[in-house]
Chains A and B, each alone.
Chain A
Amino acid sequence: KAGVTQTPRYLIKTRGQQVTLSCSPISGHRSVSWYQQTPGQGLQFLFEYFSETQRNKGNFPGRFSGRQFSNSRSEMNVSTLELGDSALYLCASSLGGSMTDTQYFGPGTRLTVL
């Protein structure tokens, strides 16, 4: 079974631009979560989508948004990019029915904001 895939793997943007990242979960998984990983803050939860609805949200500004499609694929968008948004953005998928469902992570998208 194919793992979680994320595209693109690397991205360079400039301040003020916006960016969209994509995540394809493992087949059959209905929950997709997004995390930001930086050297300064570590791994931080952004949001979770389940059956096309945002089920949980972390403490990030409204510039960070996401959505999930009927095939469970998910996208996250960051508008008005800031230098501090440079990070590794990780997507994780799980079956979603229970909090103990294992979350499987993708390789991440490395975003650099110049």
Chain B
Amino acid sequence: GESVGLHLPTLSVQEGDNSIINCAYSNSASDYFIWYKQESGKGPQFIIDIRSNMDKRQGQRVTVLLNKTVKHLSLQIAATQPGDSAVYFCAENRLPGGGNKLTFGTGTQLKVEL
């Protein structure tokens, strides 16, 4: 039979508005968090990261906020552009001993309306 896909939350914003994409993580021991953007037909593209000893980190048009108390991560995109339309994933690394083993969230589809 037909496989059931993950229901991706969708965020629709007007061009020029700010976007906020949220992510909840489960492991309080996670040390490192990353946001990726995936456009159709492409692999995930690194946007910004944050260590657990930080609350906020800013990049070009993007800001990541980390709330360890409620295990919540958010990505803010300023002045959203049509090129920002994509699926956004948060990911965490649960290996403080080293290595790369990212655990990804289910993703959020961002749609930018002209």
Contacts and interface: CB of A to CB of B under 8 A. Distances in A.
Interface of A: 4, 31, 33, 35, 38-45, 48, 50, 55-56, 58, 90, 92, 94, 96, 98-108
B74 to A, nearest CB: 19
Interface stretch (B16-24, B60-68, B75-83, B96-104): B96-104
Contacts of A44: 104
A90 B38 CA distance: 12
B41 to A, nearest CB: 8
A45 B23 CA distance: 19
B51 A100 contact: yes
Contact of A99 (B6, B41, B100, B104): B100
Nearest to B46: A102
Nearest to A97: B98
A99 B97 CA distance: 8
B95 interface: yes
Nearest to A44: B104
Contact of A48 (B45, B49, B99, B104): B99
Given A100-B32, A108-B43, A39 B3 contact: yes
5 contacts: A4-B43, A35-B102, A39-B3, A100-B93, A106-B43
Contacts of A99: 31-32, 93, 95-96, 98-100
Interface of B: 3-6, 31-32, 34, 36, 41-46, 49, 51, 89, 91, 93, 95-96, 98-107
A40 B99 contact: no
A56 B5 CA distance: 27
A56 B32 contact: no
A14 B42 CA distance: 25
A92 B100 contact: yes
A31 B101 contact: no
Given A39-B5, A40-B3, A42-B107, A103 B99 contact: no
A42 B43 CA distance: 13
